[in-house]
Chains A and B, each alone.
Chain A
Amino acid sequence: MAEDTRPQVTRLLMDWRAGDESALDRLMPLVYSELHTLAARCLSSEQPGQTLRATALVHEAYLRLVGSEIEWRDRAHFYALSARLMRRILVDHARMRNREKRGGGAYVAPLDEAAEVAGPGGFADLLAIDHALAKLAEFDARKSSIIEMHFFGGMTHDEIAEAMQISAPTVYRDLKLAEAWLRRELTTAREHPAENSSEA
């Protein structure tokens, strides 16, 4: 008999928020597998060229795993966690594709040319972003997290403010600076491609 994973997720989420870091370890695989599946399913129905609706994806994962009867603050934390995992999923994938591209072997030109395909540049870009975010986290962890939440988790300013316990204007300013920093970093990084990216 299948059990609903929701109560479990909710409980872990609360434990995590209450300071139990080990709860996060148990939470991760659940959310990871959910997001992974959802990404595969939801994204495959999107039109080529359309941008990733990470927001929709994370909200969907949230509803499936947690349900709607949870405090707003827990929801914000869940989104933050999902954002982190989404980053990991995408980076894992990009790394593998990048490796195939350079190592040869499994990757062959797609059979179906109709859809727009992520060129090799796309994978390297994401790895560079990941690398830059890790670098940013070394001296400003908050901004790194905020970028992650916004771009990988599709979180709004208010949601980020709630998760980080800071004001929305601060989120706005942080994002502005962090984004500028990242853009600058990427322009420079393009000349020196990042090799090892950190784990999120």
Chain B
Amino acid sequence: MNEERWGRIEEIFHEVSEAPPEERLHLLDQRCGGDFELRRNVDSLLEAVGDGPNPIRSAVALVARDLSDTGRWLVSQRIGPYALRGKLGSGGMGTVYRAARSDDEFQKEVAIKIARFGLHSPEFVARFKSERQILATLEHAYIARLLDGGTTENGIPYVVIELVDGQPITSYCREISLNERLRLFIKVCEAVEYAHQHLIVHRDLKPANILVTPEGEPKLLDFGIAKLLDREELPVHQTTTNIRLLTPEYASPEQICGDPARTTSDVYSLGVLLFEILAGRHPYREPEDTASELSRKACEFDPPPPSQFIGLNRGDRKAIAGDLDEIVLKALRKEADRRYPSVEQFAADIRRFLNGFPVLARRDTLRYRAGKFVHRNRLAVALAATLATSLIVFGIAMGVLAGRLARERDRAGRVSDFLVNVFRVSDPSESRGNSVRAREILDRGADGIDADPSLDAAVRAALKQTIGRVYQSLGLHKEALPILRQALSIRRSLFGDRSLEVAESMKDLAWSVEMLGDNSEAERLYRQSLALQQALLGANEPVTLETSASLAGLLRVQGRPQEAERLYREVLSFREREQARESVLAAETTHDLAQAIYDQGRYAEAEPLFRRALAIRRRLLGDDHPEVSDNLNNLALLLYGQGRYQEAEPVYRESLRLRRKVLGPEHPDVGNSLNNLALLLARQGRDREAVEMYRDAIALRRKVLGPEHQLTANSIKNLADALRDDGDGTQAEALYQDSLRVFVLRLGEESFYVAGARSGLALLYLAQGRLAEAQREALEALRVRRKVYGADDHRVADSLTTLGFVRMAHGAMAEGEELFREAMRMRSDGLARGQPQALRPLQGLGEILVRKGALTEAEPLLRRALTLRRSTYASPHWSIVEAETLLARCLLEMGRKDEARRLLTPIPPGFAGRGPASARAAKARLQLLTRHGLPSS
């Protein structure tokens, strides 16, 4: 068609079709004039508009449907010597038919699978042949056998497989008891394990591929996308096509991400299956989910324990809750290396459950959830005792025990019998929620070891080691110490000084020794253990690296961050080299290294490491992981320490949000986040918000840690700090006293917590003019801080500063000046980095210099103090007003009235009513203005 003419047709078509119906005919006549051809053309087009069902749509739909159902057009009723008798189903690779050999007089039926896209794509043909090969190597009672294979006349490959007359495992399982289901599942595992031993990963395990015969035996089908482990993957585009063939409901996260499937991918799929046969439903599939939604869930959604699904009967729920929950969840971990390393071990754990033995998954879960808490995080150990309900005690005991079992299989039976009996003595329902009773059980176990004549020395040592670790997990290091020492000495005599057993015992012992405060002994033990492991195992074995990292941790908390840094760097280089550069362990070491560097004040260097560790953890663990929220918290601490409050706030908030989500709203770490965030708000002068958040922190900590826990007391002390300046002084004093009582009760007179509370009290008394009391508290705080931190610490400088203010208030200017100068010297690093806490002596010294008339020296100090305060606090804050007044006073006395006046901006109405500190600042401003005859508004 002529384009010009078409343009004309188009124009008239639209004009007419958009006109009111009654005008159309007329319009058409008018626009086409005498051109009848044109008129007929437009008219017929107008007539065709919206005429009945859209033919394009329906043709597209029909052909698309047909395309998807290729079996219908690819297949004649005869394939080779087989006559087809009906369709059984279709999978990703092809369609399966029921068939029988026409030359077989017994007419034994078989299943024939025919390639789906045989004519189209050579890669499917290749896949098909590969399945045939794979099946040919497998001969197992629970795997459907390959009978034959070939190619049709038109080149379509097919395989002939044993016909399994059965139903999908999930529907079969609805009819049988829980234990029967588990035994059946173990059989499935055996078949998968058998394939794994032949280096074959199934990659598509799902109920439709696992049928159960009327005799109750499982049969694995469809190795269509199975992979030979030792074979190179197909080229990229083909592999991705294969990934597309996955069933997203059962595919592991790594398969969905397109990473190569390993045996642990089958562990995952089996985990989904086990979930389904236990809970009666899929862990995350909802009826409307699309493939991409399912893929997303597989990668992101953490399924709840199967026992939590409604619809379970009470008996099953009770039986599943606990061990089976943990077994399933361990198999379903997003990170392949956190799952069971093999199907065999997965099955073994279920057998353990069936036989009443403790399961491996328990240990893993506890480590997973609380591991960092209990084992690594020094701060948290104090919390562990409080947390330790008997349930956790039991769980950890079993977990640790299971860890032992894994390593000492030969003794496993006797060790576990012993411990299981120890724990069975007590009725768990009696001791629930009562950590004291749980401890009694442990103590009884510890005593029983020596009394039991049936145990040989090696078993006794193993048991002592185990119980020692349980004590450690609970933070009961005093109890752990003797029993671990006994274990060590037994092992020395059994295995000799130079043995891995001794190295392990020394390492465990070191941890308790460290916790009980003997750092040098702990260091010696770590180093000896490390030397043995390096000699016997090698420097870059995981066990050795773990000891190195523990030693580094000790050095760090001892205030030897340089040495810690060196060790962490070594560990990191091994971990990055040996494992993936971006492994969870590498991230952990990166994070700890960052802390060691942070300790040395090299904030700029620490920050990218914190961020790097965070990025890796986010990628590998997902956001919803305690290590991610911990990492965020520490990054925020770093930003906070640098005075980068605006940046720190969102990081803290995310950490808080994640902790609430991952750990639950009533977890001690949530209290930690609330406390830290409130501290940040207080530092920014956002006292009201801070006070509210401290109150939340205190309420939470009272509830989960108890009212007399030092961390509860710490939040109370912080609240007092926030109330001290602009709040209710009386209330602040009561809170300080309250926290002080708990600190002394828990930690004795000489802890840094006590010193902190006394410092706060000193400042409160100072503001209230109670100078004698202020001086007493400040001196005591100084004494304790010197003892705890050493003479040159910045917190000692803070105490000197407080004392300086007290002396200044006493009128002892020379003394005050000396104290401030000393504090400034000690704080010079912090000042150089612009830390807000470091400016207090600056301000104090400035004031004394102004009073002395040393104005030229005072001015730069006061300017600096003002600049820092302005950058720290939201204006107008009393401390900004105070700093402005002081600098203005200095300038006025220098005769620089105009500059001073510019500083003395009007104070907003109501400012003085905000609280005592604001009132004082307003009053000082007013006095200055009056004294120099300046207008007061």
Binding site for B on A (CB under 8 A): 1-5, 29-30, 33-34, 36-44, 46, 48, 50-52, 54, 56, 60, 63-64, 89-90, 93-94, 96-97, 100, 106-108, 110-112, 115-119, 122-123, 125-126, 129, 138-140, 147, 151-152, 173, 176-177, 179-184, 186-187
Contact = CB atoms under 8 A, between A and B. Distances in A.
Contact of B292 (A2, A46, A51, A60): A60
Nearest to B9: A177
B286 to A, nearest CB: 15
Contacts of B56: 129, 147, 151, 179, 182
A44 B90 contact: yes
5 contacts: A97-B73, A111-B77, A112-B87, A177-B45, A184-B45
B154 interface: yes
B290 interface: yes
A17 B292 CA distance: 27
Contact of A89 (B65, B67, B77, B116): B67
B74 interface: yes
B55 A111 contact: no
A100 B260 CA distance: 39
A41 B259 CA distance: 21
Contacts of A100: 73
B59 A2 contact: no
Contacts of A147: 56
Nearest to A48: B65
Interface string B707-744: 00000000000000000000000000000000000000
Interface in B207-265: 233, 236-237, 239-241, 243-245, 257-260
B14 interface: yes
Contact of B13 (A30, A106, A126, A177): A177
B6 interface: yes
A2 B259 contact: yes
Query: Interface SS of chain B: helix, strand, loop or mixed?
Result: helix
B259 A97 contact: no
Given A2-B243, A51-B57, A122 B62 contact: yes
B54 A34 contact: no
Given A110-B72, A176-B17, A60 B291 contact: yes
The 8 closest A-B pairs by CB, nearest first: A43-B68, A122-B62, A118-B62, A118-B66, A110-B72, A125-B59, A183-B48, A52-B61
B60 interface: yes
A198 to B, nearest CB: 16
A39 B64 contact: yes
Task: Determine which residue in B17, B57, B63, B154 has the highest number of CB atoms from chain A within 10 A of its CB, and name it.
Answer: B63
B92 interface: yes
Nearest to A187: B48
Nearest to A65: B240
A171 to B, nearest CB: 13
Contact of B57 (A29, A111, A151): A151
B292 A129 contact: no
Interface in B60-111: 60-77, 84, 86-87, 90, 92, 97
Nearest to A43: B68
B51 interface: yes
A107 B66 CA distance: 13
Interface residues of B, number: 67
B156 to A, nearest CB: 9
B451 interface: no
A90 B67 contact: yes
B117 A181 contact: no
B59 A117 contact: no
B1 interface: yes
Nearest to B246: A41
B493 interface: no
Contacts of B1: 138-139
B379 interface: no
Counting chain A CB atoms within 10 Å of each CB, which of B48, B51, B84 scores highest?
A: B48
A182 B48 CA distance: 9
B18 to A, nearest CB: 9
Given A129-B55, A176-B49, A5 B237 contact: yes
A29 B65 CA distance: 22
B63 A118 contact: yes
B244 A3 contact: no
Contacts of A122: 58-59, 62-63, 66
Contacts of A97: 63, 66, 73
B65 A3 contact: no
Given A2-B236, A60-B292, A182-B55, 14 more contacts: A40-B68, A52-B65, A54-B60, A93-B66, A100-B73, A106-B76, A111-B75, A118-B62, A122-B66, A125-B55, A177-B45, A179-B54, A181-B45, A184-B48
B2 A139 contact: yes
Contacts of B313: none
A183 B54 CA distance: 8
Contacts of B57: 51, 151
A102 to B, nearest CB: 13
Contacts of B258: 2-4
Contact of A37 (B10, B61, B244, B290): B244
B63 A94 contact: yes
A117 B72 contact: yes
Contacts of A110: 71-72
Nearest to A181: B45
B74 A46 contact: no
A29 B237 contact: yes
B126 interface: no
Interface string B742-765: 000000000000000000000000
Contacts of B117: 36, 40
B49 A180 contact: yes
A39 B67 CA distance: 8
B290 A126 contact: no
Contacts of B48: 179-181, 183-184, 187
Given A41-B92, A112-B87, A177-B45, A151 B60 contact: yes
Contacts of B49: 176, 179-180, 183
Contacts of A173: 14
Contact of B46 (A5, A179, A180): A180
Contacts of B410: none
B44 interface: yes
B55 A44 contact: no
A43 B65 contact: yes
A2 B492 CA distance: 50
Nearest to A139: B1
A138 B121 CA distance: 32
Contact of A126 (B59, B97, B292): B59
A111 B245 CA distance: 25
B64 A44 contact: no
Nearest to B10: A177
A159 B239 CA distance: 31
B66 A1 contact: no
B337 interface: no
Nearest to A132: B56
B26 interface: no
A126 to B, nearest CB: 4
A3 B73 CA distance: 34
Contacts of A184: 44-45, 47-48
A116 B3 CA distance: 42
Nearest to A89: B67
Nearest to A42: B291
A115 B44 CA distance: 37
A43 B64 contact: yes
A18 to B, nearest CB: 23
Interface string B875-887: 0000000000000
Contacts of B407: none
A29 B506 CA distance: 62
Contacts of B119: 96
A40 B236 contact: no
Contacts of A51: 57-58, 61
Contacts of A139: 1-3, 6
Contacts of B14: 173, 176-177
